[in-house]
Amino acid sequence: MRAILTLFLLAAATPAVAQSRCAPPAPAAEPPAAAPLVPGYEDDAVRIPTPLSDLAGDSPWLPRFAAAADALLAALRAGDVARWRPLLGGPWLGAADARAVEALLADPCGAFAPLLAGETPPTRRILGWSVPASYSATERAEIAARPEAEALVCWSARPPAEAVWPRTAAEADNAPGRPYGCARIAYSLREGSPQWRAFIETPVTGF
């Protein structure tokens, strides 16, 4: 009887069981308007959130974001604040923000729970913001030539064929019950030294 009880308690402690007890999240409300992709660009049309799309396979930014994503996930899975805090800004990461991220990572119902528990590396997608069709070739070239870029990196513990991903940045909010966890990575090539910083949205702080 003791052996049976022990097995039951161990099963109750597994991430899968813990996740099954979590309530599904409330649908995230989309923001009424998205900020313009190009600073200073405005129009009178009603804007909808810019859809996300996979970063182009031939983009020079793709290997940079991929390497940053690998380093970030390894630090998060290590469960050591001393490893992931420098990647989230180090001394520029406020104490409240650091506590919020730590709470998110420790939450058994949190979006990152299944990503940190398993031994198999999760499925990953690197997403960018689609350039509106109304942008001219000149505007698109200006965006491509900038020495900095941002991307959303999302992971899912589900098999690739079953994974579900955010359609807009508003859905990459790491709300409880989301079937993925996301981080925004800002990358810069200014001053001749590649640098990047990650931002993890939490229910307390947002991006």
Which pLDDT score is estimated for 9? 29
Contact 72, 87 (CB under 8 A): yes
How is 163-204 classified by DSSP, letter by letter?
----SBGGG-S--TT-SSEEEEEEEE-GGGS-EEEEE---TT
Alpha-carbon distance 135 to 138, whole Å? 8
Going residue by residue through the chain, which has 207 residues, state the pLDDT in tens, using 9 for 90 and above: 333 333 222 333 444 444 556 765 544 444 444 444 444 444 544 567 788 999 988 888 999 999 999 999 999 999 999 999 999 999 999 999 999 999 999 999 999 999 998 788 899 999 998 777 788 888 878 877 888 999 999 999 999 989 999 999 999 999 998 999 999 999 999 877 889 999 999 976 555
Report phi then psi at 27, rounded to 5: -60, 135
Structure tokens at 95: 């104490």
Which pLDDT score is estimated for 17? 45
Alpha-carbon distance 194 to 64, whole Å? 9
